[in-house]
Amino acid sequence: MPHKFEVARFKRLMSAERRKELPPKLVLGEIGLRPGQVFVDIGAGPGFFALPASAIVGPGGRVIGLDVSPVMVDELRKNAALKKAANIRTRTIPETGADFPAGADFYFLANVFHEIDDRTAYLRRIRSRMTARSRLVLIDFLKKKTKHGPPLRDRIPLRTIRSLLVASGFTVVRIFRPNEEEYGVVARRA
């Protein structure tokens, strides 16, 4: 069973330090999120990406924040209300994934994928809801010692991510490095 982020530490996820190390708006710009689009944030936590995504997609777009933790979903809901982000919907989902919304522009997992148990099944579940223009984005920690992040043994090397994606019916479109500690992978249906 992979390591899980301790829910009680949700404040760290929204910290100014993290914002500096992994500027959410820059990352969302890097993947090309635009006004009017639909952004499914899987394992959204308290909304580190969902909130800025809501501002980018605007009133014509939608953000769907999903998480296995009801505490996280509650925090996201509160933060969305505080920001008056009316285009954010939230839902608690099972560990194995959900019937993800179909045909979204982005299915986005930031620092979540290493916490998932059956990764191939989870990827296939997402893929089944994607169209040809949908993009899957995975952001996670490199398999090396870093200041923050999950234990080294739970990190997934980039080459393993690539193989998992290919085995699950994806083509890698692009790889980016949001900082020194993490990688980002953009993929589409093969």
Ligand X SMILES: C[S@@+](CC[C@H](N)C(=O)[O-])C[C@H]1O[C@@H](n2cnc3c(N)ncnc32)[C@H](O)[C@@H]1O
Nearer to ligand X, 44 or 56 (CB): 44
Which range of residues in 27-35, 38-46, 130-138, 159-167 is near ligand X by CB under 6 A? 38-46
**Residue 184 interacting with ligand X (CB under 6 A):** no
Name which of 68 and 186 has its Cβ closer to ligand X: 68
Q: Could you tell me which residues are beta bridge partners of residue 107?
A: 40, 136
The distance of closest approach from Cβ of residue 106 to ligand X in the complex, given in angstroms and rounded to an integer, is 13
Considering only 54, 79, 111, 134, the residue that binds ligand X (CB under 6 A) is: 111
Q: Which is nearer to ligand X, 59 or 177 (CB)?
A: 177
Q: Checking DSSP bridges between strand 106-110 and strand 88-92, what pairing results, if any?
A: unpaired
Query: Contact, 182 vs 168, CB < 8 A?
Result: no
Q: CA-CA distance, 8 to 14, in Å (whole number)?
A: 12
Burial 150-181 (b: 16+ CB within 10 A, else e): beeebbbebeebeebbeebebebeeeeebeeb
Whether 70 contacts 47, CB under 8 Å: no
Binding mask 51-90 for ligand X (x = CB under 6 A): ----------------xxx--x------------------
Binding region for ligand X (CB under 6 A):
5, 13, 42-45, 48-49, 67-69, 72, 93, 95, 110-112, 115-116
